[in-house]
Amino acid sequence: MRKRIAILLAALLFLVLASISLRVGAVPVPLRELWASLTLQDSPASYIVLQYRLPRVIVAALAGFGLAVAGVILQSVIRNPLASPDVIGITKGAGFTAAIVIFLFPGAPSYVLPAAAFTGAVGALLILVLLSRKMTLPPSSFALVGVAVGAVFQAGIQYLLVKHPSDVNMALLWMSGSLWGRGWDHVRLLLPWIAVLLPVAWLGYAKLNVLQLGDEGSAALGLNVPKQRLLLLLIAIGLTGSSVAAVGSIGFIGLIAPHMARLLVGGRHQWLLPLAALIGADLMLIGDIAGRVLIIPREVPVGITTAVIGAPYFIYLLRRERLKAA
């Protein structure tokens, strides 16, 4: 019962935050006009709500779902509480290849961007695995290697910025992670990936539960550990790459949401995955709302506001893991 209540409260919080996000901004929308707009009645605010704010909320929710579920999968498969798409460098890898498309192929079709981000995320993960195996590092150091890999990809992004200064403003906004200007095109870009991969991830909850027993325990129960680990990692990479392609490099959602969900419902993935997804969407909306009301009419990118929340939590996790290892 407690687990169902936690999921219900997270869903209700999402609805409250979504309604707030639709109302606040440089042009506040009264509740009556908001309701009229959403029910397709004539309203002075209809264009703002339906063409700007509603797709922005949907993109925030979809990206929050994707990053949070990717974080759950990575933490479970790698068995490292510090693992998340941004911490281990996958987000930066996806961002680097997406930046290549943005800078060098600006006229490319919309489907090229998530495909490029997916390729970069796969490349980052392969480099990370190869380095960790070559240096025979323990799982607790996996995140530290990921920080180094992410820094290399970040350097590549910076190089592209220097080479293409005419596009620097838009690129910097995208790199910070932003929902500014997100419209129905971005919804159409992100929705197919999330709509397919999210149910697939949830259907794999039993395998994620078994993997928590370790490789030997999982194999003893008949699970093909290498194959299932690869499939689950590909799901996490797809969720990360598509989210980064739509909203840029937003950090810490994939780190914080799984931990918050685990505190509320434990480690059983049939409960952990949906709750983490909802918490990820809630955090995205909280960060976006805060960024829009802090310095009206200007906006603070959501990637900055989530970093303000996530960075101290990451330091806390590092300290906790260090104390465990001592």
pLDDT in tens, 211-262: 888 777 878 877 888 788 888 888 988 898 888 888 888 878 988 899 899 9
CA distance 257 to 249: 16
- Encode 69-89: b = buried (16+ Cβ within 10 Å), e = exposed: bbbbbbbbbbebbbbbbbbbb
Residue-level pLDDT at 131: 78
Please state the domain extents for the chain: 61-325
**What is the distance between the alpha carbons of residues 207 and 220, in angstroms, rounded to a whole number?**
13
pTM of this structure: 0.88
DSSP letters spanning 195-248:
HHHHHHHHHTHHHHHHHTT-HHHHHHTT--HHHHHHHHHHHHHHHHHHHHHHH-
Mean pLDDT confidence for 269-276:
94
Question: Percent of the chain having pLDDT more than 90?
Answer: 25
DSSP letters, 68-80, are: HHHHHHHHHHHT-
Quick check: 140 pLDDT over 60?
A: no
- Secondary structure letter of residue 26 according to DSSP: S
pLDDT value for 187: 92
Rg over CA atoms, the chain: 20
Rounded to the nearest angstrom, the gap between the alpha carbon of residue 165 and the centroid of all alpha carbons in its chain is: 28
Nearest CA among 232, 103, 247 for reference residue 161? 103
Q: 12 is written with which tokens?
A: 């209700």
pLDDT band at 299 (very low <50, low <70, confident <90, very high): confident
Mean pLDDT for 181-208 is 90
At 171, is the pLDDT very low, low, confident or very high (cuts 50, 70, 90)? low
Q: What is the pLDDT of residue 163?
A: 81
Dump pLDDT digits (tens) for 206-224. Answer: 888 888 887 778 788 778 8
pLDDT at residue 138 in the model: 57
Q: What is the pLDDT of residue 169?
A: 67
pLDDT digits (tens, 9 = 90+) for 67-78: 999 999 988 888
Does residue 120 contact residue 93 with C-beta atoms inside 8 Å?
yes
Instruction: Note the CATH number of domain 61-325.
Output: 1.10.3470.10
Q: pLDDT by residue (tens digit) across 89-113? A: 888 888 888 888 888 887 778 678 7
Q: 176 with 248: CB under 8 angstroms?
A: yes
Contact 135, 149 (CB under 8 A): no
Phi-psi region of 214 (alpha: psi -120 to 50; beta: other; left: phi over 0): left
Average pLDDT over residues 25-33: 83
